[in-house]
Amino acid sequence: MDIVLASGSPRRRELLERAQLDFTILSVDIDETPLDNESPTAYIERMVATKADAAIHKLCDTSQADHDSLTSPFIILTSDTIGVLSDDKTVLVKPVDREHAYSMWQRMSDNVHEVWTAVQATQVQLLPIAKPSPPESTQCLQVINQQRITERTEVTFIPLTTQIMSDYWDSGEPADKAGGYGIQGLGAAWVSRINGSYTNVVGLPLAQTLALIKEMTEGSMDTVNPL
């Protein structure tokens, strides 16, 4: 079954490539601003669902022009990674500026936080939909199966000084990463230990994602009826 990775993240692309998985990439843009009083669980689940919806709408436009390329069912894979402080309430997102990054890092310094990644696999198929007026038929993607997982990994940081934080911010690495650090890059020097999936901290729990795809491909998951 064909797979569409609805993500512009080079890290997620590289992880799937390591698994020798065939897939295509579709970047989607959504508003990632947390809602007031939104819990980490609600936030991350909303993100992967919204990304899937955005991908479906984008692919629907493609399907109108090229029906032949989307005739078989395929999987849209969406993912979102956040950091969560030990209070299980505070979401660590991508820093908007230096001050925002510092405020997160100061709370993560010499402390344990968790990295959560939600992965959603949405199986879709091109199906005819009758328009009520005028009475004609068009084609659009319909959800025929959907499943989501969330993986959590504990990460322990070393004590961070102002100089350490300043040097790291100036490197440019933190800007596009949840919690403002990359464990696969310079940010690895901050991590004294992890408990759980390393690839989850990078941005995609690879073993769990491959298991999710396998289950959906084999058709063993419960089907979610499209709305």
* Residue 221, helix vs strand vs coil: coil
Distance CA 201, CA 206 (A): 10
Bond prior to 134 in cis (omega within 30° of 0): yes
Max Cα-Cα span within the chain: 67
Residues 6+ apart with CB under 8 A from 131: 137, 138
If you write DSSP's letter for every residue of 153-189 in order, what string do you get? EEEEEPP--HHHHHHHHHHTGGGGSGGG--TTTGGGG
Question: Tokens representing 25?
Answer: 């990439």
- Give Cβ neighbours of residue 74 (< 8 Å, ≥ 6 apart): 1, 2, 3, 4, 123, 124, 125
**Active-site residue identified among 53, 80, 87, 167:** 80
Could you confirm whether 80 is annotated as catalytic? Answer: yes
Please provide the DSSP assignment of 180-219 as one string.
G--TTTGGGGGEEEEES-HHHHHT--HHHHHHHHHHHHTT
**Active site amino acids:** 80
